[in-house]
């Protein structure tokens, strides 16, 4: 979807993309050292490298080798998809300097996905997303991960 909107975003002098992610996608939740090394290497990170990690994960999953190969034991696909999404945010931020790309975890929100066990209402969770979308141009940094309203490491 981002690729489809790029021509419109590039025409703007204040374009922003705020990717809603999760703390579960942080690299500390990816025990596979090879994958962690690739996804944390911002200088050499590319879509191809992200796809390489995801292909290896899928291969290991199909072969029943997730635990043996050092992938997350619980919520494996979710964690890897969010880690890849965060990495893709950094790739885009590096490639398109005129557009501000960031990822944000809004917190543990009461939604159908959390079986309404979250601590925040949907409106409270949306605050961090909307804040990033509306920051003035002089307050923007691109390629970052936010937990709620604070910058966090990937």
Residue 125 sits in a domain whose CATH number is 3.40.50.720
152 pLDDT exceeds 90?
Answer: no
33 pLDDT exceeds 90?
Answer: yes
Domain count, the chain: 1
Q: What are phi and psi of 120, to 5 degrees?
A: -110, 150
CA distance 52 to 73: 20
pLDDT digits (tens, 9 = 90+) for 48-89: 999 999 999 999 999 999 999 999 989 999 999 999 999 999
pLDDT digits (tens, 9 = 90+) for 114-150: 888 888 888 998 999 999 999 888 888 999 999 988 8
Average pLDDT over residues 6-34: 95
- The residue range of the domain holding 131 is 2-152
Distances (CA, A) of 138 to 68, 135, 148: 47, 8, 20
Classified as helix, coil or strand, 150 is: strand
Catalytic residue numbers read 78
Q: What is the DSSP string of 109-138?
A: B-STTTTT--SB-HHHHHHHHHHHHH--GG
Predicted local distance difference test score (pLDDT) of residue 71: 96
Q: What is the pTM of this model?
A: 0.91
């Amino acid at each position: 979807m981002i690729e489809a909107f790029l021509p419109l975003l590039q025409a703007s002098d204040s374009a922003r993309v705020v990717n809603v992610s999760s703390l579960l996608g942080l690299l500390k939740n990816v025990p596979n050292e090879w994958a962690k090394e690739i996804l944390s290497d911002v200088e050499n990170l590319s879509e191809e490298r992200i796809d390489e990690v995801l292909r290896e994960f899928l291969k290991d999953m199909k072969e029943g080798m997730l635990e043996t190969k050092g992938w997350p034991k619980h919520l494996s696909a979710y964690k890897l998809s969010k880690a890849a999404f965060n990495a893709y945010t950094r790739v885009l931020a590096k490639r398109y300097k005129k557009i501000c790309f960031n990822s944000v975890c809004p917190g543990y929100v009461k939604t159908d996905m959390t079986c309404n066990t979250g601590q925040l209402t949907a409106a409270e969770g949306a605050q961090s997303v909307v804040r990033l979308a509306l920051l003035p141009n002089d307050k923007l940094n691109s390629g970052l991960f936010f937990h709620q309203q604070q910058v966090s490491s990937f």
